[in-house]
Structure 1
Amino acid sequence: MDISNLWDAEWEVSEELARKLISSQFPSLMSAPIKRLGYGWDNTVFLVGEDYVFRFPRRKVAIDLLRMEAKILPKLADFVTLPYSKPLFFGEGNLEYPAPFLGYPYLSGKFPIGLTDEQRQLSTSLLAQFLKRLHAFPVQIAQENGIQRDHRNLTDLTERKEKMLKFLSDLSPHLKREEHRAILDYLEQHTTDRVQQRYVFLHGDLHFKNILVNKRGEVSGIIDWGDMNLGHPACDLNVAYSFLPPHARSDFFREYGEVDEETKVLARMIAVYIPMLILMQAIDEKDNEVAVEAKAIIARALADV
């Protein structure tokens, strides 16, 4: 695929290095076993004992994001209605490793892969209340702590549409004809150029690899807050299209609060945009399970009741 791999690491973090950094700075964890859980675009994640996870940046761009998490996440406790990654351990880099790192309580659960519509519907109220409260976090406090304003220019739908058409071209060999046609028809029918900017506090990267669910399939935790920013609520409201089945959307928006059609247009576009990116990474890394889930999300986001 002719794309630059935004997810490639600038440095790797081994279990041995993670163990050395953690035990030297947090002696109480010296004897705890350490196991790599996985990695995202920005961080490598390790399970430490049974109670904690540590995230280590694997790209320079993640360093400032992690420092921001350390400042702002503790302040969210009175607003976040779901378990979330509140940092407890604040580590610093050294000559062997160039970045800070954070440790959090371990949140039990799994990624919402392969859930039925019935299971997804169970989280309608949970997600609506979570986002209603999160978006009420005071913008002034966020600004005072250095949170950026819409650094990804989400409200420019023309630019986003152009990116998605490029993604679609790259993905074409990996899509069935009907999958390609559905995305292309959606983009060709999309005529809105830009939506009016609004500023609320956002998680900023709310997709299935940053959401945990319990055995019933209900949302049980929200992780990876590195893309927190002030911007349009549609960025997070994409879950109404990407996570929930179509028939649950009206209940979600009723409980979240009044949402105009412009916001719904942007939310749906982001709900298609994010899994297209995840699908490209999954194809590059030959992760068939994630690729199948990303395709299912796109189909759900494009579906109407």
Structure 2
Amino acid sequence: MNPWEATHPVSLEKAKDKIERAFPHLKPIRIQACGTGFDHTVYEVNSAYVFRFPRRQLGYEAMQYENRMLGSLVKLNFDGGFQYPKPVFYKEAEGDDYPYVGFTTIKGNVLTEETDTDLLHQHAGELGVFLKQLHALPADQIDADTDHLHRLSSKRRKKHFYDIAQESSAAIPEPLFEKLLHYIEQLEEWENPTGNVPLHGDLHPKNMIVQGGRLTGIIDWGDAHIGHPAVDLSIGYACMTPAVRSVFFENYGEIDERTKELARFKAVFIMTVLVRYAKNTQDEDVLRWGLAGLKKSLR
């Protein structure tokens, strides 16, 4: 079975029917597809809300994490300079279907649809400030779990990392692939580091919204958790060249070399995952950003 295949697909017609029955005050709804992610099918409703329907079990779990984290951010009046979805609607499961949620919409398009893979360079400082403020929120007031997936453990992920790289090899130019293999082979094995800051948890180009050529919002908080800041700081390696990366870190604040090493590891890993996803789904947009991210993160 394709790992990205939906076990619970929700067509536009089915989504429209479910939303109108659950929230009749929205009728007559105007609905259009926004796209399909790893774990969710997404529709925009009445140009004001985005409804997310889990496509598989991991999507259902991610939806719960996301709803809890975003609810916490709203309660704390968090404003880091970029928009994030605000929870508005929640519908419990019906029959074999999963529950689903509705958030305020963030206008624009997904970053991977942009041709300029250096677009985030203009936002290096702003992203550093955004993450500095997010990570400074009081963890005891955030409804989120600790990192049970060991996202930064090279010891747990090294073999899987190598397997993903091999599966992606046909989509990666040979010189870049050799560089990736060398990085994995030379990778030391360490346990997952401890951390106690609130995190987005999955900050990469498919989870960012652009309008008018500028970054406007951060979406898909389904991997939100309490953990090590390097998980989020990986965006500085995945989408920025070394010179721009220094601006990002200057605005975030002082971090040690170990944190930078962990952030690079996360970036190389997630960019390889994106390339595999793009190869399996024949998504040329994601492939473009995944390959650009590998080049940047290995520099």
Q: Same fold (TM over 0.5)?
A: yes
2:275 paired residue number: 279
Pick the aligned partner of 1:17 from 14, 18, 33. 14
Tell me how far apart the structure 1 counterparts of residues 224 and 79 of structure 2 sit (CA, whole Å).
Answer: 13
2:210 corresponds, among 191, 210, 213, to 213
Assess, with a 3 A threshold, how the Cα gap between structure 1 residues 72 and 159 changes in structure 2: closer, same or farther: closer
1:171-186 mapped onto 2 (5 Å cutoff): 171-186=168-183
**Deviation larger for 229-238 or 155-164:** 155-164
Distance 1:161 1:54 in 2: 36
1:7-156 pair list within 5 angstroms: 7-77=4-74, 78-81=77-80, 82-95=82-95, 98-113=97-112, 114-115=115-116, 117=118, 119-142=119-142, 145=143, 147-156=144-153
CA contact (8 A) 2:49 2:105 kept: yes
Distance 1:79 1:243 in 2: 24
Q: Hey, what's the Cα distance between the residues in 2 that align with 1:168 and 1:159?
A: 16
- Cα deviations across residues 37-94 of structure 1 (Å, max 9, x unaligned)? 2111211100112121100111123324323433331321322411001111222222
Q: What is the one-letter code of the residue matched to 1:300? A: K
Q: Confirm whether residue 203 of structure 1 aligns to residue 200 of structure 2.
A: yes
The aligned amino acid for 2:87 is P
Code of the aligned partner of 1:188: E
Paired with 2:165 and 2:68, the residues of 1 have a C-alpha distance of 38
Which segment drifts farther, 74-83 or 123-132?
74-83
Does the 8 A contact of 2:152 with 2:231 survive in 1? no
Q: Which amino acid aligns with 1:122?
A: Q
| Alpha-carbon distance in 2 for matches of 1:14, 1:263 | 42
Structure 2, unmatched stretches of 5+, are none
Query: Structure 1, unaligned stretches of length 5 or more?
Result: none
**1:193 aligned residue (190, 194, 201):** 190
Structure 1 stretch displaced more, 172-181 or 37-46: 172-181
Whether the 8 Å contact between 2:129 and 2:252 is mirrored in structure 1 is yes
Give the aligned CA root-mean-square deviation in angstroms.
1.8
Partners of 1:195 and 1:161 lie apart in 2 by 12
Give the Cα separation in 2 of the matches to 1:168 and 1:64. 26
Partner of residue 170 from structure 1, selected from 167, 170, 181: 167
The 2-side partners of 1:73 and 1:230 are apart by 13
Cα-to-partner distance string for 1:106-162 (whole Å, 9 max, x where unaligned): 211222232253x322101211111111112221123xx3x2211211232233222
Residue 217 of structure 2 aligns to which amino acid in structure 1?
G
8 Å contact from structure 2 (residues 7, 55) kept in 1: yes
Matched, 1:158 2:140: no
Does the CA-based 8 Å contact 2:40-2:53 persist in structure 1? yes
- Give SS of 1:102's match: strand
CA-to-aligned-CA distance 1:241-275 (integer Å, 9 cap, x gap): 11222211112111111111111111111111112
AA aligned to 2:25 is S
Name the aligned partner's letter for residue 184 of structure 1.
Answer: L
CA distance in 2, matches of 1:175, 1:71: 37
| 2-structure distance, mates of 1:46, 1:249 | 34
Q: Secondary structure at the match of 1:36?
A: strand
Does the 8 A contact of 2:131 with 2:252 survive in 1?
A: yes
Q: Does residue 238 of structure 1 match 2:237?
A: no
Deviation at 1:210, TM superposition (A): 0.3
In structure 1, give the amino acid aligned to 2:63: L
Quick check: 2:8–2:97 contact (8 Å CA) kept in 1? Answer: no
CA distance in 2, matches of 1:71, 1:149: 13
- Sequence identity percentage: 35
1:222 aligned residue = 218
CA–CA separation in structure 2 for the residues paired with 1:210 and 1:151:
21
Query: Aligned to 1:122, what secondary structure does the other structure show?
Result: helix
Quick one: structure 1 residues 172 and 68, their matched pair in 2 at CA, closer, same or farther if it must change by over 3 Å? closer
Instruction: Decide whether aligned partners of structure 1 residues 215 and 9 sit closer, same or farther in structure 2, where only a CA change above 3 A counts.
Output: same
Residue 110 of structure 2 aligns to a residue whose secondary structure is coil
Secondary structure class of the residue paired with 1:35: strand
